[in-house]
Amino acid sequence: MTENSSNHEFNLQSTISFISKHKLILISTFFLSAIAIGLLSLLLPNYYKSQVALMPADSNAVSKAVLSQMDNYDVLSYGKEKDAEYLLELLGSGTIISKTVSKFKLDEHYGIKEEQGKAKSDKLNQRLVSNIKAKRTENLGVKLTVWDTDPQYAADIANYMTEQMQILRNDMKRAKMDSIVNALTASRDGLVMEIGRLADSMSRMTKEKKVFNPDMMSDRMSQEMAKQIALGNNAGVKRLEDRLGTIGESGPQIISIREQLKIKIETLKVWDEKLEQVRVDAKSNIPTDFIIDNAYPADLKDKPKRSIIALVGGICCTLIAFFVLILRDKNKALKK
């Protein structure tokens, strides 16, 4: 136990003495390597950063935002976590990426136009992944960042992708709303035809049987029949009995058709209201998100950080020199 402690103390002391012994070499290695790597980093192109900050909207439906009857609904509220995830999916979709590549000719801009096939696609994807990033912020917003050697190019790409994302989201909404409108319209047309059929059936039956309001007619004829019986008018009583028999036969059918017609008409009112709301949503083109900051050309470069590159490179080279010196001294000791 004592021997191990003494060996550890000896190693620590020998390490400190070793560094002190070779400090000039280590310091020279650090500064020379840092200067050399810093000069080499000047060959790297400057990249400028442009950003667009977005906040997703809670809803892009006019019927919900304006026609809603919910008092606790805030039409200006921001979206939730899922809404931010939707924006990220849209910004990273192949539709927007392909439009951006075609619009700005990024293959030529990145200098990979001479490549062919899969090699060109792989290199282009690598450049896009490193130069275009979209991430969610702590406050459930979305930040799109674009790096490029041309600051104006970076700003234009970021703003264009944001614009295309809004267009794509509205197109998706419109396609969905159009299909809903078509389905609701077809269902409504069927309901209108059913109402027309019931109305024609009730009209035809009332004209044939001369029964327009079975409940009221039955009450009045019952009262009139009681009077005729009291007067002893057997012929009048006979006519009233026949008429009441007709009402009794056709009355329930007329009442049933009338109730069905009433229900169908009430359903049609609700259907028309819902259909109008969907049509408003389908024709609307309201913003799908809040753009907090548009991208603008940066005045100063964002990367590479040449001072950090030089510092890290100097430290790494110094560590390599340190281990080389250790191996050299051990070899000398072994030879002795």
pLDDT value, residue 72: 47
Query: Which pair of structure tokens corresponds to residue 126?
Result: 């690598």
Cβ-based burial of 275 (10 A; exposed 0-12, middle 13-18, buried ≥19) = middle
Which residues, 6 or more positions from 101, have their beta carbon under 8 angstroms from its beta carbon? 107, 124, 128
pTM of the model: 0.63
Q: How far is CA 22 from CA 28, 29, 200, 318, 331, in A?
A: 10, 11, 109, 11, 16
Cα–Cα dist 214/258, whole Å: 11
Q: Tokens standing for 285?
A: 């083109």
Residue 209 parent element (H or E): helix 151-209
Q: Mean pLDDT score of the chain, rounded to an integer? A: 75
Segment among 15-19, 144-148, 168-172, 235-239 with least mean pLDDT: 235-239
pLDDT for the residue numbered 334: 75
Q: Report the percent of the chain where pLDDT is more than 70.
A: 71
pLDDT (tens digit, 9 = 90+) per residue, 196-205? Answer: 888 787 777 7
For residue 201 the two structure tokens come to 């059936």
Query: Each residue of 256-299: pLDDT tens digit?
Result: 777 888 888 888 888 888 777 777 766 666 556 677 778 888 88
Count of all residues that appear for the chain in the document? 336
Domain boundaries, the chain: 1-44+304-336, 179-283
Q: Per-residue pLDDT for 225 more than 80?
A: no
Alpha carbons within 13 A on the beta-carbon side of 100: 26
Could you read off the pLDDT of 315-334 as tens digits, one per residue? 898 888 888 888 887 777 77
Q: What is the mean pLDDT of residues 49-73?
A: 62
Q: Identify the weakest region by mean pLDDT among 44-58, 98-112, 229-243.
A: 229-243
Beta strand segments in the chain, E: 48-56, 132-136, 142-148, 289-293
pLDDT above 90: percentage of residues in the chain: 0
